[in-house]
């Protein structure tokens, strides 16, 4: 029998990550970008990989401002967030070659926001055939590449001058 190992998921399953406070406020204050999966820092917002991804390469763009309401963001914050979404998509097209993307905000717990008190935009690369029987029958999502290897690929592309 083949074994599928994903030990980093236990932090999510056990709920141990819940007491960390707001990751979108705390992680950018630190200087450990790779450890915290921060890929790119802008003036008003930043790009961060999702530690518990729906798919390989799942990113989030979040403002530095702590708010759960999109309408609390000013024009500069909103514009930079969308520019970073665009930059993320360009970078992933170059290094991961996905067939498409799921993008958007989940605002509020009822809408599926895992962190409801700090608005963030999801960018999830998708490939034709990336959904299989595992989530349905086994309750398991297979992520085919180690998160730090994906981080390195996307980081390199995000820091090219022509993006």
Burial pattern 64-75, b for ≥16 Cβ within 10 A else e, equals beeeeeeeebee
Binding-site annotation: residue ranges for substrate: 50, 122
SS3 label, residue 139:
coil
Catalytic residue among 58, 66, 118, 120: 120
Q: Which two tokens stand for residue 54?
A: 């729906």
Residue where the block lists tokens 């819940």: 18
Separation CA 118–CA 38 (nearest Å): 16
Binding-site annotation: residue ranges: 50, 122
Q: In what order do the strands lie in the sheet with 100-105?
A: 38-41, 45-49, 59-63, 121-126, 100-105
Separation CA 123–CA 126 (nearest Å): 10
Task: Give how far the C-alpha of residue 2 lies from the chain's centroid of Cα atoms, to the nearest Å.
Answer: 29
Catalytic residue flag (residue 159): no
Active site residues: 120
């Amino acid at each position: 029998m083949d074994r599928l190992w994903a030990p980093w998921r236990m932090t999510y399953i056990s709920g141990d990550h819940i007491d960390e406070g707001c990751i979108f406020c705390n992680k950018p204050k630190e200087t450990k970008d790779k450890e915290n999966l921060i890929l790119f820092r802008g003036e008003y917002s930043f790009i961060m990989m999702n530690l518990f991804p729906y798919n390989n390469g799942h990113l989030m763009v979040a403002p530095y401002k702590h708010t759960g309401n999109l309408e609390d963001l000013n024009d500069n914050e909103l514009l930079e967030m969308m520019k970073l979404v665009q930059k993320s998509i360009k970078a992933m097209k170059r290094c991961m070659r996905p067939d498409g993307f799921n993008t958007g905000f989940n605002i509020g717990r009822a809408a599926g926001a895992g962190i409801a008190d700090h608005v963030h935009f999801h960018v999830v690369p998708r490939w034709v055939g990336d959904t299989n029987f595992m989530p349905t029958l086994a309750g398991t999502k297979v992520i085919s590449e180690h998160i730090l290897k994906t981080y390195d690929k996307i980081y390199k592309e995000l820091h090219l001058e022509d993006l």
